[in-house]
Chain A
Amino acid sequence: MIKLQTPITKEKLSVLKAGDLVYISGTIYTARDAAHKRLSEMLDRNETLPLDLKDACIYYVGPTPTPKGKIFGSAGPTTSLRMDMYTPRMYELGMSVSIGKGYRSQEVVDSIKSNQAAYMVAIGGAGALLGQCVKSAQLVAFEELGAEAIQKLEVVDFPATIAIDKEGNNLYE
């Protein structure tokens, strides 16, 4: 069992390859379509982002609302390719890992290679199980986006499989 503690530095990634199942503990951030659009607009306007992307791990997820008395809702990955147009810029700015489900574009694969980063996939549709790995959640930005707001999550043993590694090896091929 490979355990990964955040921040997931490029050094920690250097020994991992496509197909490895890892268990992530530490801080990860949620962001999906609308949040990526906002972040990219902020960058266009030269504004400071609400989160530090250096060695950051971004999880493409729009969780269900947290029920009363619970820590978090259902939180499985969403389809990554909808984020593809924003992703190379995020890797350039230091993001080391993105987590979602499904294929990525060639531009994203190239960016992963040139930045020695990684793309991981979590089990699509296993929202209940993945949501249980979340031990605390805190709103970071864009509250008005509801399920699409950026949240900072503390996770323990969050299971993810490396789908594209720093060499560009692609599990789906």
Chain B
Amino acid sequence: MREVSVHILRDKIKELVQEVNFYYPRDIDKKIKEAAINETSKIGKETLELLIKNSEIAAREKIPICQDTGMVIVFLTIGQEVHFTDGLLTDAINEGVALGYEEGYLRKSIVEEPVFDRINTKNNTPCIIYTSIVAGTEVELEIGTKGFGSENMSTITMLKPAQGVNGVKEAVIAAIKKAGPNACPPMVVGVGLGGTFDYAAVLAKKATLRSCESSNADPRYAQLENELLVLANELNIGPQGLKGDTSVLKINVEYFPTHIAGMPCAVNISCHVTRHAKVVL
């Protein structure tokens, strides 16, 4: 048994929500710089260069890269030998979010109820928390802060098994095409395949947070990621939607076993400001 104070988690979250808003993660930074070199459209190249300049200003001035500092998503992988102390885990996570958003002058974008009065909670909480329990004594914390210009363009399709890999490709490319300039391209796209209606979406979210320098461990899915990326960049959406080669920086695919009768396919659209971080406590 290992005791872990929830205060450690709170403080780490407070720090990470600021860090991801001020600095591009390494993988995105690298992808954008590569794209700026390779882009053949003039306006596309200029736009990518401005995005690099934007990230430099953000880092220097410690102001957010993008004003939509997002809704916080937390994936916690908890070793079952861990015992949390000093309070409720959920409260500590939300406290960390609230403290970080206040301290970092980040925008508070959460409303307390979706349909009627939509009153802002004024501290960017609550966040979305997913936990999974594994063997051992470690706690892994993965966070993202998701902007909604791109989130709003995400889709779920309950494909039929007979539609196969072509059905998946059609659904993913259709979502990217529709997202176009609304999702602040160049985008990062997470695809969740299998599971259930709801779990496919969680997988897609997890896929957006995976490093853009990684591939799915299954070579068939890794190949699908590459093929989807080629197809997406043939759409000629381009940076900011003004045409060009760079429409999507990376497509990550995650999958899970599913039912004999189904092939859920969730496409979580994200943007060049795909803020993600992962630490082991």
Does chain B have a CB within 8 A of A169? no
For A159, the closest partner residue in chain B by CB is B50
* Interface set, chain A 63-99, CB cutoff 8 A to B: 63-67, 70, 73-76, 78-79, 81
Q: Is the CB of B272 within 8 A of A64?
A: no
Complex alpha-carbon distance, A128 and B120, angstroms = 23
Mostly, the A contact residues are loop
* Interface set, chain B 125-166, CB cutoff 8 A to A: 147, 149, 152
**Chain B residues with CB below 8 A from A146, complex form:** 108, 120, 122
**Chain A residues with CB below 8 A from B105, complex form:** 64-67, 73
Q: Is the CB of A131 within 8 A of B273?
A: no
Q: Is the CB of A128 within 8 A of B181?
A: no
**Chain A residues with CB below 8 A from B242, complex form:** 161, 171
What 0/1 pattern do residues 96 to 124 of A give for CB contact below 8 A with B?
Answer: 00000111000000000000000001011
Q: Is the CB of B63 within 8 A of A101?
A: no
Say yes or no: A123-B47 contact (C-beta < 8 A), given A64-B106, A172-B241. Answer: yes
Cross-chain contact of A132 among B43, B57, B66, B67 (Cβ < 8 A): B57
For A63, the closest partner residue in chain B by CB is B67
Number of residues from B at the complex interface, CB < 8 A: 38
**Chain A residues with CB below 8 A from B66, complex form:** 74, 76, 124-128
Min CB gap B119→A, angstroms: 10
Does chain A have a CB within 8 A of B78? no
Does chain A have a CB within 8 A of B62? yes
Q: Is the CB of A64 within 8 A of B182?
A: no
Does chain B have a CB within 8 A of A22? no
Min CB gap B234→A, angstroms: 17
Of the candidates A65, A66, A146, the one having the most CB atoms from chain B within 10 angstroms of its own CB is A65
**Chain A residues with CB below 8 A from B149, complex form:** 78-79, 101-102, 124
Q: Is the CB of A79 within 8 A of B271?
A: no
Does chain A have a CB within 8 A of B240? yes
Q: Is the CB of B67 within 8 A of A64?
A: yes
- Name 13 extra pairs, CB < 8 A, besides A61-B67, A73-B107, A102-B181: A64-B106, A67-B62, A67-B63, A73-B67, A101-B149, A102-B241, A124-B271, A125-B147, A129-B50, A130-B54, A132-B61, A147-B108, A172-B181
Q: Is the CB of B63 within 8 A of A73?
A: yes
Say yes or no: A123-B107 contact (C-beta < 8 A), given A101-B181, A102-B182. Answer: no
Does chain A have a CB within 8 A of B15? no
**Chain B residues with CB below 8 A from A101, complex form:** 149, 181-182, 184, 240-241
Complex alpha-carbon distance, A126 and B107, angstroms = 15
Does chain B have a CB within 8 A of A168? no
Complex alpha-carbon distance, A75 and B107, angstroms = 10
What 0/1 pattern do residues 33 to 70 of B give for CB contact below 8 A with A?
Answer: 00000000001000100110111011001111111110
**Chain A residues with CB below 8 A from B54, complex form:** 123, 125-130
Q: Is the CB of B68 within 8 A of A129?
A: no
For A61, the closest partner residue in chain B by CB is B67
Q: Is the CB of A103 within 8 A of B240?
A: no
For B69, the closest partner residue in chain A by CB is A64
Say yes or no: A123-B50 contact (C-beta < 8 A), given A102-B182, A128-B58. Answer: yes
For B107, the closest partner residue in chain A by CB is A64
Q: Is the CB of A79 within 8 A of B152?
A: yes
What 0/1 pattern do residues 141 to 152 of A give for CB contact below 8 A with B?
Answer: 000001100000
**Chain B residues with CB below 8 A from A67, complex form:** 62-63, 105
* Interface set, chain B 171-196, CB cutoff 8 A to A: 180-182, 184
Q: Is the CB of A103 within 8 A of B182?
A: yes
Q: Is the CB of A124 within 8 A of B63?
A: no
**Chain B residues with CB below 8 A from A123, complex form:** 47, 50-51, 54, 240
**Chain A residues with CB below 8 A from B106, complex form:** 64-65
Q: Is the CB of A63 within 8 A of B107?
A: yes
For A102, the closest partner residue in chain B by CB is B182
For A130, the closest partner residue in chain B by CB is B54
Cross-chain contact of B61 among A75, A76, A124, A128 (Cβ < 8 A): A128
**Chain B residues with CB below 8 A from A171, complex form:** 242
Q: Is the CB of B65 within 8 A of A128?
A: yes
